[in-house]
Structure 1
Amino acid sequence: MLPKILCLHGSGTSAAIFHIQAIRLSRILQPHFELVYVDGFIDTPPGPGVLPFFEGMEPYKRWLTDKDGHEENPWPDLHKLVELFNRKGPFVGIIAFSQGAKAATYLLRWLEQRGQQLDFAALFGGTVPFRLAIGTEEWAKLIKPTIITRSIHVIGDDDPWRSESEVLMEHYDKPSRSLIRHKGGHHMPVDPDINDKLAKLIIACHAESNDYP
């Protein structure tokens, strides 16, 4: 049985759409991992760039409400993601895009607070949580660095949310993180060399965590 990777889509898309968006990377990873794509919990209009290509692929989903700089406190659906993580796992890592990377950050922090750690998290065009200290009196404070899980941050040079992706990266322990930039916008990388590099790094993270040669 192949080790599993949890795949979290961006806001206004879905598991099915993310499967298409990530096809270049997933084709390289499939001999090594089982990629498990799951839907967000909230119905929402289609996200940026979704139409017209993914027209007719409703329902579109999101993970949390974070409009205009306001975010629910605490995130009421975190327990749903934890339940999904436990039910569909075990997982060795996460691949997440845009708001999915934000949801992944909440999940990773929750796991680490309970002594659990994944082999890696690959975060693409991520947006930063406004509040990371879930369920504590310090919920309004951004604590850095907060996550020690090995992280791979993938940021497009022309991504309008590039600054948020860079802030998100600062919430991961510097010695445990890697940065890969690509010449693109708010989308999964299309360059074959970038995807090959990413796949090799993901495979290496898993191998190092499990003492594989």
Structure 2
Amino acid sequence: MPKILCLHGHGTSAAIFKSQTAAFRAKLDSSFVFDFVDAPFPSRGAPGINAIYKSDTYTWWPQPTSQAIRASHSWVADYAREQGGYDAVCCFSQGCSLAASMALYRAVDAATVPAKGDKSNEPLPFRAAIFICGGVPLPVLEHMGLEVPLRAHEINQRTGQLLNGTAGRLNDMAKNVKLIKRGVGLWDSGKGDLMHDPKARPELSDVFGLDFTRFPTAARISIPTVHIYGSKDPRWPAGIQLAEFCDDRLEYDHGGGHDIPRTTEVSDKIADMIKQVMSQIQSPTEERKERKGSGIWA
């Protein structure tokens, strides 16, 4: 029985993420168990989210500092330990930043400070990851000692502004339906401002400001991963950066924006990729035996 931990994005919630993923989860059989959890900090709703959902909203960290992000890792690790561990993590946006940075820190810590005997050396509480509209926080990379040029910071800031501006239009549309045009989607409105060409994959020496040829070999995510992003998403560059950190990955561009389209085609594809990545990891039965024997998740 595959058990998957689900981490929502900033300014949303477990209930919202459950709704956002309903279409592709419906394509999976009942053996898949998805555990949706609220982040620990209350927050304002993400731009545009209140136009669709009326619920409390949360964030994984109030400020994107390396200290706050590492604290979120401990929170998730403790929660997973209490729940018996997970076969995979499925995450969106900020949730991806949490899971990806957690995996990178564990890899770098294991390579640089072996056998510390503290929680930084515990295995990850998941064996695979499904990243949706994700990215890696740049402060995390700098804290690890990786070079993050000014250009990478500028692109990150600009794409964040574009995302907030486009998503925020949902509130305007909810107040004035005349702004809604037939055949023109939310993410079509800002295509001319995007800082990327989805048909042109950048060279490893310059992935939107990051030079992967200069990064240490330890700074890698080795677990099987799925990367789902949209070519109209202003944050597409961050999704590509995250993908380039992963050694064993599947990628899919659904053609939309910073969201999860609910069309049959997209839902079928995402479900198929989840089944494929789950087939790559050890069977849940064997994994549970190992957890019980190690005592890590007791």
Q: TM-score band (shorter)?
A: 0.7 to 0.9
Which residue of 2 is the match for residue 156 of structure 1?
A: 230
CA distance in structure 1 between the partners assigned to 2:15 and 2:85 by the alignment: 21
Q: CA deviation at 1:30?
A: 4.6
Unmatched segments (≥5 aa) in structure 2: 111-120, 148-214, 285-298
Q: String of CA shifts for 1:41-65, please: whole Å, max 9, x gaps.
A: 211110023122112x11x101124
CA distance in structure 2 between the partners assigned to 1:78 and 1:191 by the alignment: 33
Is 2:241 the counterpart of 1:167? yes
**Paired AA for residue 103 in structure 2:** L
Which residue of 2 is the match for residue 72 of structure 1?
A: 66
CA spacing shift, 1:149–1:119, aligned 2, 3 Å? same
2:136 to 113, 120, 128: 128
1:196 to 265, 268, 278: 268
CA distance in structure 1 between the partners assigned to 2:140 and 2:84 by the alignment: 24
TM-score, scaled relative to structure 1: 0.83
CA spacing shift, 1:177–1:166, aligned 2, 3 Å? same
Q: CA deviation at 1:133?
A: 6.3
CA distance in structure 2 between the partners assigned to 1:211 and 1:91 by the alignment: 12
Unmatched segments (≥5 aa) in structure 1: none
Which residue of 2 is the match for residue 37 of structure 1?
A: 36
Q: CA deviation at 1:87?
A: 1.3
What's the % identity of the aligned pairs? 25
CA distance in structure 2 between the partners assigned to 1:207 and 1:162 by the alignment: 27
Q: CA deviation at 1:36?
A: 0.2
CA spacing shift, 1:159–1:89, aligned 2, 3 Å? farther
Tell me if structure 2 keeps the 8 A contact 1:120–1:202: no
Answer 1 or 2: which has greater strand percent: 1
Tell me if structure 1 keeps the 8 A contact 2:105–2:144: no
CA distance in structure 1 between the partners assigned to 2:19 and 2:222 by the alignment: 30
More displaced stretch, 34-43 vs 108-117: 108-117
CA spacing shift, 1:208–1:167, aligned 2, 3 Å? closer
TM-score, scaled relative to structure 2: 0.61
2:79 to 81, 84, 88: 84
CA spacing shift, 1:167–1:65, aligned 2, 3 Å? farther
**Paired AA for residue 98 in structure 1:** S
RMSD: 2.4
Which residue of 2 is the match for residue 208 of structure 1?
A: 280
Which residue of 2 is the match for residue 183 of structure 1?
A: 255
Query: 3-state DSSP class of the match of 2:103?
Result: helix
Larger radius of gyration: 2
2:146 to 130, 137, 141: 141
Which residue of 2 is the match for residue 63 of structure 1?
A: 60
Which residue of 1 is the match for residue 97 of structure 2?
A: 102
CA distance in structure 2 between the partners assigned to 1:85 and 1:106 by the alignment: 16
Answer 1 or 2: which has greater helix percent: 2
Aligned residues: 201
CA distance in structure 1 between the partners assigned to 2:5 and 2:48 by the alignment: 23
CA distance in structure 1 between the partners assigned to 2:249 and 2:139 by the alignment: 21
Q: String of CA shifts for 1:7-51, please: whole Å, max 9, x gaps.
A: 000000000111001101121235231000011121111002312
